[in-house]
A and B are shown apart, each in its own frame.
Chain A
Amino acid sequence: MFSFRGCGRWVAASLTKQHHPSSRFSGDSAAPWTPHFDVVVIGGGHAGTEAAAAAARCGSRTLLLTHRVDTIGQMSCNPSFGGIGKGHLMREVDALDGLCSRICDQSGVHYKVLNRRKGPAVWGLRAQIDRKLYKQNMQKEILNTPLLTVQEGAVEDLILAEPEPEHTGKYRVSGVVLVNGSTVYAESVVLTTGTFLRGMIVIGLEMHPAGRLGDQPSIGLAQTLEKLGFVVGRLKTGTPPRIAKESINFSILNKQTPDNPSIPFSFINETVWIKPEDQLPCYLTHTNPQVDEIVLENLHLNCHIKETTKGPRYCPSIESKVLRFPNRLHQVWLEPEGMDSDLIYPQGLSVTLPAELQEKMITCIRGLEKAKMIQPGYGVQYDYLDPRQITPSLETHLVQRLFFAGQINGTTGYEEAAAQGVIAGINASLRVRHKPPFVISRTEGYIGVLIDDLTTLGTNEPYRMFTSRAEFRLSLRPDNADSRLTFRGYKEAGCVSQQRYERATWMKSSLEEGISVLKSIEFPSSKWKNLIPEASISIGKSLPLSHI
């Protein structure tokens, strides 16, 4: 049906018709039949999967282009989702019918809500996730999404056309050129290439170009973006070594058990796939002065630390912790990587020392005396695009119909990437249908805070969400994300299923009914004082008081 030369591998072909392109600017192959999609998403990470699924849910014929289909849904760093602020983002992604919350409810191995003692506005839904299960479930979801096609292939260039005069922008994107020379035409393109733009992996003094460990970086695309005039910056991040589970002495460490019952991430789930008693525990240990010593003695072997590229202050490597806060014990959480995984992820031990020294450092730590390192920690340096070059709908100012989402915009974290992915996918689809963009304001959600911060202030370190970033924290709670976003998503974007819409409607009317019942109960303040002695009731009011 299509003439794809070379590496293109169609995984699910749900295309029914094609257009013949009318304008071609560059990279045009002579192929007479070129596939044409409404939305093409480049990258199969957390932003890319959400963007592709959201565009398809909105009714656009969508193509997801990824280096390798078997890495879709890969959790490249920590084996967990959610947390304080990040859990809020996941609930909002779910309210727009996104994927990650539902997949996490099917793939977790340890569910725990953080901040339970601090008021419902700042509760942090969090779970340890089985990497393998997450990947399997995400791939199943993506490969079975109607209107969504997945193809393997690396993108080398963008096809540009004359801009539409009624919008700002110097160019309009009209498709992509793959490394093998073939082209795909598209009405909108979403770029979610993560750390792949000129990614460099650093261990000790060795540097190798790569995206994630084992993957190829995108260099041609990076050059194209720079030639177009996008302002590019450089960031760095890191990941800890992985340790063999059976080599750790857990018996002398603090054990953390999961919540009972587990709270699901998704509004449409009553419970998660696994019973609390079947879930895995996490363990806590600490660094010690010996670790400090190894780090300080070997700074000369550590080019990741020496360079000036900005790393996150809030996901610091053990080196920067030791340098900035010396003579302290730092926490190390030992987290399971999955049900049948024999790896442990030592959260808090992100490190870029040469591998031998990493192993030496690990064995200084309590409980890890005999630990076997399976994979060393490493640093990643990568290009990001100054996010002040995109609009709140995540479309670039410079190139019409080109959207950026995820780590490429300078964020860190699966949840931040997923949140941008949903918004980019929705807007790429709305743009094709000439509908107004779907923008969430700071008053409506953490997604709005995230995008507003990025697009107005930019960032010079990997941007992570915290509740302290939200001015309207008291009203942007994880529990009310559905009432804030589901109705808008259903009516304005069309990204919400009928089933979810009905559930949100039912929840809303139940809450309203409950509130009106409570409001109808009125007693004098003296009676309230008898009924609830611990409540502080102001005596100044002489009117009868209702429950609320």
Chain B
Amino acid sequence: MWRGLWTLVARAARGPRSPRPCTRQGSGAPAPGSGATVFALSSGQGRCGIAVIRTSGPASGQALRSLTAPRDLPPARKACLRLLSDPRSGEPLDRALVLWFPGPQSFTGEDCAEFHVHGGPAVVSGVLQALGSVPGLRPAEAGEFTRRAFAHGKLSLTEVEGLADLIHAETEAQRRQALRQLDGELSHLCRGWAETLTKALAHVEAYIDFGEDDNLEEGILDRADSEVRELEVALGAHLRDARRGQRLRSGAHVVVAGPPNAGKSSLVNLLSRKPVSIVSPEPGTTRDVLETPVDLAGFPALLSDTAGLREGVGPVEQEGVRRAQKRLEQADLILAVLDASDLASPSSCNFLDTAVIPAGAGSPNGRSQRLLLVLNKSDLLPAGGPDPSADLPPYLLLSCLTGEGLDGLLEALRKELAALCGDPSTGPPLLTRARHQHHLQGCLDALGHYKQAKDLALAAEALRVARGHLTRITGGGGTEEILDIIFQDFCVGK
């Protein structure tokens, strides 16, 4: 009987049909609107040997051609010497190295050109003006090149942050950390977590959308549960890493404290290699907290000089003591300074009992506080060293006056800071921004809600929230990724 239907089909129009190219391209969002071509001076301002001017956008080739006319575009990614001239007047501007990077193999993913010109202000402004006269070109806004690279998927969000940090890196450790982040290590780690979570979510979503109609395999929800549990453990462990990455990025708080006239300000000046604090033999010279950023053995630190801790002085100094104590509580590392020749004095003993011993025993609020005990003025000591009866915790001897013992102190500081900031060249990538920590914590909290939810739609919602937090770090996170996993892993549909 069904054969009869063929005649119906056959009767339908059967005209000749020319083959037709399918104009449709793959789905997915259209490329982010590039539109304008931008240019900017990419090296620093001011007179210099060579200045680099960059363009990015579809008119880059046109710009390069107009400035180097009548020559054609140089070969891609090969440095060529060209005479630059103003396209309006034809007036020569400079003899410069030019580079042509056709997209997408360029920093921004768009067509890019680079002009390595001589760094005189007149040359730079001449070339910039010439570029501005090319139709379709406009000056770049701050960060626009990086933004375009991000929009074209050349850099992930954490890589952008890494790039910004690399540009601003002042110490060796910061540079290593930023370079690792720019290489995408943090991004890679988070993406791994996000993939696990997306997979778990996809399995839950598959169970919601197809569980009833199709035969999904047994136990897909159990598998999602165990994946979530593993992720919780991994996130928890990474979060316990605490603020190491942030300290490395913004500097560890190192607070110099001790009784009056122990030589705290001298130590600060010695470490920062500049006269930050006024030094005098008079006790109570430093009354407020003085801060200075320093590079300690390659690690960034914020060094704070504080008022000497003592009681029964005037209201101004008393306020200074209060501030010093507050700062001590916030410190990542305390440099406790005592006068080696004056260990028996009441103020020294008091400081040892109230600040040094408790810190060594672990502070009551559970926060680990690191402390280095420094005995200053070793030049005043007899040959036998400090009074053995004082019963001191481990200490370092130093003379701020002669500089003796400084190498030992720096080595001890390096060890302490490495532990505080983490060694950026080994171990798991660190969370360098509070933002990262916030979203990881948010993710972890949401995973807790997943376990409690009894309604499967609510459980899935918790996973969606958790995934949302992770993708704030990595980017991405559309629903299409979930569907891709569903259809890859399960045979679903009617």
Q: Which residues of A pack against B, CB within 8 Å?
A: 78, 83-85, 114-115, 117-122, 124, 198, 201, 208-210, 213-217, 219, 226, 231-234, 312-316, 321, 324-325, 328-331, 333, 347-348, 350, 355, 373-376, 386, 388, 456-460, 466-469, 471, 473-474, 536
Q: B469 → chain A, closest Cβ, in Å?
A: 15
List the 9 closest pairs (A to B, CB-CB), nearest first.
A233-B24, A119-B455, A314-B493, A119-B457, A460-B27, A468-B205, A313-B487, A325-B491, A214-B8
- What chain A residues lie within 8 Å of B487 (beta carbons)? 313-314
| Partner among B13, B212, B494 whose Cβ is within 8 Å of the Cβ of A114 | B212
Inter-chain contact B209/A457, CB cutoff 8 Å: no
Knowing that A215-B12, A471-B464 are A-B contacts, what are 7 other residue pairs whose CB atoms are under 8 Å apart, sorted by A's residue number?
A78-B494, A114-B212, A115-B212, A209-B17, A219-B17, A234-B22, A314-B487
Q: B323 → chain A, closest Cβ, in Å?
A: 36
Query: How far apart sit A328 and B490, CA to CA, in the bound complex (Å)?
Result: 11
Inter-chain contact A232/B22, CB cutoff 8 Å: yes
A-B contact count (CB 8 A): 141
Query: How far apart sit A376 and B5, CA to CA, in the bound complex (Å)?
Result: 10
B10 at the interface (CB under 8 A from A): yes
Q: Can you offer 30 A-B residue contacts whose CB atoms are under 8 A?
A: A84-B212, A117-B456, A118-B207, A118-B456, A118-B457, A121-B455, A122-B456, A209-B14, A213-B5, A213-B9, A214-B5, A215-B12, A231-B23, A232-B22, A233-B23, A314-B492, A314-B493, A315-B493, A331-B215, A347-B494, A350-B494, A375-B2, A457-B28, A460-B24, A460-B27, A467-B205, A469-B479, A471-B479, A473-B460, A536-B452
- What chain B residues lie within 8 Å of A214 (beta carbons)? 5, 8-9
| Partner among B457, B492, B494 whose Cβ is within 8 Å of the Cβ of A474 | B457
B388 at the interface (CB under 8 A from A): no
Inter-chain contact A373/B2, CB cutoff 8 Å: yes
| Partner among A118, A316, A373 whose Cβ is within 8 Å of the Cβ of B455 | A118
- What chain A residues lie within 8 Å of B452 (beta carbons)? 536
B218 at the interface (CB under 8 A from A): no
B237 at the interface (CB under 8 A from A): no
Q: A156 → chain B, closest Cβ, in Å?
A: 12
Inter-chain contact A85/B209, CB cutoff 8 Å: yes
Q: Which of B299-347 contact A (CB under 8 A)?
A: none
Chain B: interface size category: 35 or more
Inter-chain contact A118/B5, CB cutoff 8 Å: no
Query: How far apart sit A315 and B487, CA to CA, in the bound complex (Å)?
Result: 11
Q: A268 → chain B, closest Cβ, in Å?
A: 26
Inter-chain contact B10/A208, CB cutoff 8 Å: yes
Inter-chain contact A233/B22, CB cutoff 8 Å: yes
Query: How far apart sit A208 and B6, CA to CA, in the bound complex (Å)?
Result: 9
Contact with A along B1-21 (1 / 0, CB 8 A): 111010011101111010010
Inter-chain contact B2/A122, CB cutoff 8 Å: no
With A467-B208, A474-B458 given, is the CB distance from A232 to B23 under 8 Å? yes
- What chain B residues lie within 8 Å of A314 (beta carbons)? 487, 492-493
Query: How far apart sit A456 and B480, CA to CA, in the bound complex (Å)?
Result: 13
Query: How far apart sit A324 and B491, CA to CA, in the bound complex (Å)?
Result: 8
- What chain A residues lie within 8 Å of B28 (beta carbons)? 457-458
Inter-chain contact A232/B12, CB cutoff 8 Å: no
- What chain A residues lie within 8 Å of B278 (beta carbons)? none
- What chain A residues lie within 8 Å of B456 (beta carbons)? 117-119, 122
- What chain A residues lie within 8 Å of B215 (beta carbons)? 329-331
A459 closest partner in B (C-beta): B27
Query: How far apart sit A122 and B458, CA to CA, in the bound complex (Å)?
Result: 10
Inter-chain contact B494/A201, CB cutoff 8 Å: no
B484 closest partner in A (C-beta): A313
Contact with A along B258-285 (1 / 0, CB 8 A): 0000000000000000000000000000
| Partner among B27, B458, B483 whose Cβ is within 8 Å of the Cβ of A468 | B483
Inter-chain contact A210/B29, CB cutoff 8 Å: no
Query: How far apart sit A208 and B482, CA to CA, in the bound complex (Å)?
Result: 37
Contact with A along B334-370 (1 / 0, CB 8 A): 0000000000000000000000000000000000000
With A118-B455, A329-B215, A460-B24 given, is the CB distance from A321 to B5 under 8 Å? no
* A124, A313, A316, A471: residue with the most chain B Cβ atoms closer than 10 Å: A313
Query: How far apart sit A114 and B213, CA to CA, in the bound complex (Å)?
Result: 8
Q: A320 → chain B, closest Cβ, in Å?
A: 9
Inter-chain contact A316/B24, CB cutoff 8 Å: no
Inter-chain contact A376/B2, CB cutoff 8 Å: yes
B478 closest partner in A (C-beta): A457
| Partner among A122, A312, A460 whose Cβ is within 8 Å of the Cβ of B457 | A122
A223 closest partner in B (C-beta): B20
Inter-chain contact A234/B24, CB cutoff 8 Å: yes
Inter-chain contact A328/B24, CB cutoff 8 Å: no
B87 at the interface (CB under 8 A from A): no
B29 closest partner in A (C-beta): A457
Q: Which of B29-74 contact A (CB under 8 A)?
A: 29-30
- What chain A residues lie within 8 Å of B29 (beta carbons)? 456-457
Q: A361 → chain B, closest Cβ, in Å?
A: 15
Inter-chain contact A468/B209, CB cutoff 8 Å: yes
Query: How far apart sit A316 and B8, CA to CA, in the bound complex (Å)?
Result: 26
Q: A130 → chain B, closest Cβ, in Å?
A: 19
B215 closest partner in A (C-beta): A331
Q: B362 → chain A, closest Cβ, in Å?
A: 29
Inter-chain contact B208/A118, CB cutoff 8 Å: yes
B393 at the interface (CB under 8 A from A): no
B170 at the interface (CB under 8 A from A): no
Query: How far apart sit A467 and B215, CA to CA, in the bound complex (Å)?
Result: 18
Inter-chain contact B212/A124, CB cutoff 8 Å: yes
Query: How far apart sit A332 and B15, CA to CA, in the bound complex (Å)?
Result: 38
Query: How far apart sit A374 and B5, CA to CA, in the bound complex (Å)?
Result: 10
B375 at the interface (CB under 8 A from A): no
Inter-chain contact B13/A330, CB cutoff 8 Å: no
A77 closest partner in B (C-beta): B494
- What chain A residues lie within 8 Å of B458 (beta carbons)? 119, 474
Query: How far apart sit A469 and B28, CA to CA, in the bound complex (Å)?
Result: 15
Inter-chain contact B24/A315, CB cutoff 8 Å: no
| Partner among A115, A333, A460 whose Cβ is within 8 Å of the Cβ of B211 | A115
Inter-chain contact B13/A219, CB cutoff 8 Å: yes
* B2, B14, B29, B458: residue with the most chain A Cβ atoms closer than 10 Å: B2
Query: How far apart sit A232 and B492, CA to CA, in the bound complex (Å)?
Result: 28
- What chain B residues lie within 8 Å of A473 (beta carbons)? 457, 460-461
Query: How far apart sit A217 and B2, CA to CA, in the bound complex (Å)?
Result: 20
Inter-chain contact B208/A122, CB cutoff 8 Å: yes
Query: How far apart sit A125 and B237, CA to CA, in the bound complex (Å)?
Result: 44
A200 closest partner in B (C-beta): B17
Query: How far apart sit A476 and B8, CA to CA, in the bound complex (Å)?
Result: 44
B294 at the interface (CB under 8 A from A): no
- What chain B residues lie within 8 Å of A474 (beta carbons)? 457-458, 461
Contact with A along B77-118 (1 / 0, CB 8 A): 000000000000000000000000000000000000000000
- What chain B residues lie within 8 Å of A217 (beta carbons)? 12-13
Q: A517 → chain B, closest Cβ, in Å?
A: 24
With A85-B209, A457-B28, A460-B27 given, is the CB distance from A468 to B494 under 8 Å? no
Query: How far apart sit A467 and B493, CA to CA, in the bound complex (Å)?
Result: 14
Query: How far apart sit A523 and B211, CA to CA, in the bound complex (Å)?
Result: 40
Query: How far apart sit A329 and B28, CA to CA, in the bound complex (Å)?
Result: 33
- What chain A residues lie within 8 Å of B10 (beta carbons)? 208
Query: How far apart sit A315 and B492, CA to CA, in the bound complex (Å)?
Result: 8
